[in-house]
Amino acid sequence: MVIKHLPAIDIQNMGFRYQGSSGVIFSNLNLKVAKGERFGLFGPNGAGKTTLISLMTGLLRADEGHIRLFGHDIGQKHVEVNHLFGFVPQDFSFYQELSPVENMEFFGAWSGLDKQKIRKRTDELLHILGLEEVRDKPVEKFSGGMKRRVNLAIGVIHEPEILFLDEPTVGVDVQTRHAIIDYLLALNKNGTTLIYTSHQLSEAEGLCQQVALMDDGKIIAHNSLNGLLEGYNEDNLEHLFLNLTGKDYRNDV
Amino acid sequence: MFKLGATILKDIRILWRDKVGLSLMLAMPIMLVIVVTNIQNSTFQLVDKNKLPILINRLDTGEASRQLITSINKIGMFKVLQIYGIQNEQSMSDAMHAKDAMLGLIIPANFSSKVAAKANNIAGKALKSFGLEGGTLKPAGDVDPLTLYYNPVLQESLRLSVAGAVRSALQLVESRETLRSLYFSINEKPMPENLENEMLNNQTAIKEIPVSKSGTRIAPNATQHNVPAWTIFAMFFVIMSLGGSVVKEKISGSFIRLKTLPTSYLVAILSKQITFLFVTMVQAVVIFSIGIWLFPLMGLPGLNLPSDLLALVVITIICGWCAVSYAICVGVFSETQEQVNGFGAVSIVILAAIGGLMVPSFAMQGFFRNAANFSPMHWCLEAYYTLFLEGGKLKDILNNIAPLIIITLLLQAATFWGLKRKNLI
């Protein structure tokens, strides 16, 4: 159940380290994302973005502190809270042997939808994302851009309150990128909270209202996009990014 | 139920499109059962229909050696090829190779005279013990041994039965000589041929009857042995596809999404069990059908299904469930498809070997005989043999079903523990 006055995401004093690793990834991390916000999470490779998203989606468990989605502790109420969010991972997260319709039938069922709802949402999404003509063809034969759209369609089939997007437009052409961004903006207009990570900073400028820059497991800046640019006296997100994280190579092993 | 149904449908669709996996699970075991049954049938026929070629080198020209060859011919299991004059082992070996003979026998020089001398000596001793003759007995030397050569490919059991058959022919010749000598000493005239034949050839017959629990008298053959055995192997062969499918799903991107959805991964595991249990049933039906209808067309004995079909269905389902449980367990603990393929292939061959699919368990010794109890294939095979060969009923295989279910439950428990340990459920 969504309680409107609660933040979509509320992270309090969260600590995490990988099993067997001596280094701490996160220590005492705090973050709030309001309902209906378009939130961008940026940082160089190895900054901890994917790990943080994994923690917020329950793929990893925090060692300390709390992560709450609309007040539900992700660690305590995993199944209940899973209905609230959708996830579009960077990797293609579907069965390549199956068609878009077959994938959506399966993932729709696993998302808790009934047969009728799955059929309705499948028709809607395939129409919106321009996949109607290939609805019954195996996804393995699709181009990268088409696969990205399938990946997105599956992530939103159950109309989640919060949508996590890990580099949703990587490797796609301009047309597909615009189609995806337009669809995300439409979703947000209907109340879906977007949590977005990408290395496409120019794309992020058009999408995100709130921005957090991460480095080395810490949130080093967090504000509205305009607030950050004004605060650091930069004219775009890329310059701000380089200003705060430096120009050195980052090796993420 | 809807989630499970959707997952089963997904698994069936993926399986149906995996032509390589399907052919591995169906075509390979079918080829295996056809090839192995053909080969074993040839071995059966080698003994039953095709006579074993034996090369006899007769260095003796007397009556006893002629009778010995006649007796060996009468046994019926040999095709006698005679040669003369070979004196050494190398020449015998060369001659066997040249004539494609599996066996070679040298009848030593003076065989007949020495057998006759031995017979006279025994007859003399017998008469003396009856008090019928008091003459001095001539000492008889030992008869030089016959030498039997064999091709090393002959299995020991077959070689022993060959040696036994030759020994029986030899005993007949020696008995004949002794009997003739005795008769001549008493009556001072040769023994009438009809009396001799009556005394020597009037052996008590041995009736051979296969003992079955149902009382039916179907003689076991290569098909009855091989079809059940290789059906079990085929069912366990699903590890190549199912184990790989579990690993593939774990390491693919789709698994990340599955973990974020409000459904337990146990549903996926249950779906795989149901889907692949169905696959094992299809395998069994296909292989049994081949045994029943295709084998006779290929000149092989047809498969006779057991009289208790319910028992056959029950044991086949349990065997399939065990095979599927094993494949999923290996898949859960493996990290890569290479691991599951390598370990899967080797482990099922080992389980088949210790389970008695390749060599009968009763022929195993010590450790391996006990190890057979840990192979699920052993219990499946015992149950199948009870049904297919002994005409047993469901009650007769309960003692095989029980350990099979225990092994299956242990595999399920290990799978559950592995999923928990890896945070997959």
* pLDDT exceeds 90 at position A243: no
Contacts of B255 in chain A (CB under 8 A): 93
Which among A44-48, B104-108, B366-370 has the top mean pLDDT? Answer: B104-108
Q: How far is A57 from chain B (nearest CA, A)?
A: 6
The yes-or-no verdict on residue A148 having pLDDT over 80 is yes
Which among B79, B125, B286 is positioned nearest to B69, based on CA atoms?
Answer: B79
Domain boundaries, chain B: 2-43+218-421, 51-201
Query: Is residue A52 a part of any domain in this protein?
Result: no
Residue A209 identity (one-letter amino acid): Q
| A-B Cβ pairs (cutoff 8 Å, strict) | 78
Coil/strand/helix, residue B26: helix
Give the pLDDT confidence score for residue B137 in this predicted structure.
61
Q: Does the pLDDT at position B217 exceed 60?
A: no
pLDDT digits (tens, 9 = 90+) for B232-254: 999 998 898 888 888 888 887 77
Per-residue confidence (pLDDT) for residue B133, from 0 to 100: 62
Residue A90: per-residue pLDDT? 84
pLDDT value for B119? 84
Residue A48 phi, psi dihedral angles, 5° rounding: 115, 15
Which 3 state secondary structure label does DSSP give A9? strand
8 Å CB contact between A62 and A232: no
Q: What chain A residue is nearest to B14 in terms of C-alpha separation?
A: A97
The pLDDT assigned to B7 comes to: 94
- Confidence label for B175 from pLDDT (cuts 50, 70 and 90): confident
In which order are the strands placed within the sheet that holds B52-58?
Answer: B78-83, B52-58, B103-107, B147-150
Burial of A96 (C-beta count, 10 Å sphere; 0-12/13-18/19+): middle
CB B69 within 8 A of CB B97: no
Helix, strand and coil content of chain A, in percent to the nearest 5, comes to 40, 20, 40
pLDDT of residue B200: 67
Q: What's the confidence (pLDDT) of residue B310? A: 95
Across the interface, do A97 and B256 touch by the CB < 8 Å criterion?
A: no
pLDDT at B47: 58
Shortest alpha-carbon distance between residue A138 and chain B (Å)? 10
Mean pLDDT value across residues A157-176: 86
Residues of chain A contacting residue B259, judged by C-beta atoms under 8 Å apart: 58-59
Task: Give mean pLDDT, residues B88-94.
Answer: 81
pLDDT digits (tens, 9 = 90+) for B374-410: 899 999 999 998 898 888 889 999 999 999 999 999 9
Instruction: Answer yes or no: is pLDDT of B231 > 80.
Output: yes
Hey, which residues does B57 pair with through a beta bridge? B83, B106
Partners of A16 in the beta sheet?
A26
Q: Would residue A29 count as lying in a domain?
A: no
Which residues have CB under 8 Å from B157's CB, separation 6+? Answer: none
User: Is the pLDDT confidence value at A252 over 80?
Assistant: no
pLDDT digits (tens, 9 = 90+) for A201-220: 777 788 888 888 888 888 88
Domain that holds residue A208: 34-44+84-245
B13 touches chain A (CB under 8 A): yes
pLDDT reading at B50 higher than 70: no
User: What does the alpha-carbon distance between residue A155 and residue A149 come to, in Å, rounded to a whole number?
Assistant: 10
Mean per-residue pLDDT for A142-150? 89
3-state class (DSSP) for residue A12: strand
pLDDT computed for residue A125 by the predictor: 92
CA angle B46, B52, B55 (to 5 degrees): 160
Residues in chain A: 253
Residue B319 confidence class, pLDDT cut points 50, 70, 90: very high
- Residues in chain B with CB shorter than 8 Å from the CB of A80 are 262
pLDDT at residue A24 in the model? 66
Backbone angles phi, psi at B84, to 5 degrees: -135, 145
Task: Report how many domains make up chain A.
Answer: 1
Task: Report the SS3 class of residue A72.
Answer: strand
- At A107 the pLDDT is 94
| A contact test, residue of B7, B18, B255, B261 with most A CBs within 10 A | B261
Question: How far apart are alpha carbons B299 and A33 in whole angstroms?
Answer: 77
Q: Inform me whether the pLDDT recorded for B195 exceeds 60.
A: yes
Would the pLDDT of A2 be above 60? no
A43 versus B12: the higher-pLDDT residue is B12
* A176/B108 Cα distance (integer angstroms): 95
A230: exposed, middle or buried (C-beta count within 10 Å: 0-12, 13-18, 19+)?
exposed
CA B302/CA A242 separation, integer angstroms: 79
pLDDT tens sequence across B17-49: 888 888 878 888 888 888 888 887 776 666 556
CB atoms within 10 A of CB B114: 19
Taking an 8 Å cut-off on Cβ atoms, the answer to whether B261 and A111 are in contact is yes
Residue A11 contacts residue A48 (beta carbons within 8 Å): no
Position A1 scores a pLDDT of: 56
Q: Which pLDDT value is given to residue B212?
A: 62
Q: How is residue B301 written in tokens?
A: 């004995």
Its ipTM equals: 0.85
Minimum distance, in Å, between the CA of residue A151 and any CA atom of chain B: 10
- Give residue A220's pLDDT: 84
Tell me, what's the pLDDT at A118?
Answer: 95
Burial readout A51-82 (b: 16 or more C-beta within 10 A, e: otherwise):
bbbbbbbbbbebbebebbbbebebeeebeebb
User: How far apart, in whole angstroms, are the C-alpha atoms of residue B203 and residue A30?
Assistant: 101
Poorest-pLDDT segment among A6-15, A169-178, B102-111 = A169-178
Give the chain B residue whose CA is nearest to the CA of A61.
B423
Per-position DSSP letters for B137-157, written without gaps between them: PPP-PPPPPPEEEE-TTS-HH
In chain A, the largest separation of any two C-alpha atoms, in whole Å, equals 53
Element (H, E) at B104: strand B103-107
Amino acid letter, A156? V
Q: Is some CB atom of chain A closer than 8 A to the CB atom of B6?
A: yes
Pairing of strands A64-69, A9-16: antiparallel
Chain B interface includes A138 (CB < 8 A): yes
CA angle A50, B259, A178 (to 5 degrees): 55
CA distance B94 to B403: 53
- pLDDT tens per residue, range B141-156: 777 888 888 887 777 7
On the question of pLDDT at A253 being above 60, the answer is: no
Is A179 part of a structural domain of the chain?
yes
HEC string for A199-240: CCHHHHHHHCCEEEEEECCEEEEEEEHHHHHHHCCCCCHHHH
Mean pLDDT over A158-168 rounds to 89
Average pLDDT over residues A166-187: 85
Q: Bigger pLDDT: B288 or A4?
A: B288
Query: B256, A98: Cβ pair inside 8 Å?
Result: no
- CB within 8 Å: B257 and A154: yes
- Encoding tokens for residue B266? 């146990």
Q: Tokens for B165, please give them.
A: 């058959």
Cβ pair A195, A57 in contact under 8 A = no
User: Above pLDDT 70, what percent of chain B?
Assistant: 89
* Pairing mode, strands A9-16 and A26-33: antiparallel
Nearest CA in chain A to B252: A93
Q: What CATH number does the domain containing A117 carry?
A: 3.40.50.300
CB contact burial B169-192 (16+ within 10 A = b; e otherwise): bbebbbebbbbbbbbebeeeeebe
- List A215's β-bridge partners, or say none: A218
CATH of region B51-201? 3.40.1710
Report CA-CA distances (Å) from B408 to B275, B321, B373, B377, B415. 17, 7, 13, 12, 11
B134 DSSP 8-state letter: -
In 3D, which of B125, B147, B146, B126 has the Cα closest to residue B136? B125
Give the mutation candidate from A95, A137, A152, A159 for the B interface (greatest B CB count, under 10 A). A95
Q: What is the mean pLDDT of chain A?
A: 85
Beta-strand relationship, A162-166 and A193-197? parallel
Q: Is B92 helix (H, G, I), strand (E, B) or coil?
A: helix
- Chain B residues inside the 8 Å CB shell of A138: 17
The fraction of chain A above a pLDDT of 70, given in percent, is 92
Which residue from B182, B199, B185, B177 is spatially nearest to B115, judged by alpha carbons? B177
Per-residue model confidence (pLDDT) at position A83: 84
> Does A159 lie at the interface with B, CB-CB under 8 angstroms?
no
Q: pLDDT tens, A84-126?
A: 899 998 888 899 899 999 999 999 999 989 999 999 999 999 9
pLDDT bin (cut points 50, 70, 90) of residue B223 is confident
Selected residue with higher pLDDT from A41 and A250: A41
The Cα B360–Cα B38 span in angstroms is 18
Element (H, E) at B137: none
Over 70: is that where the pLDDT of B123 sits? yes
B8, closest residue in chain A (CA to CA):
A106
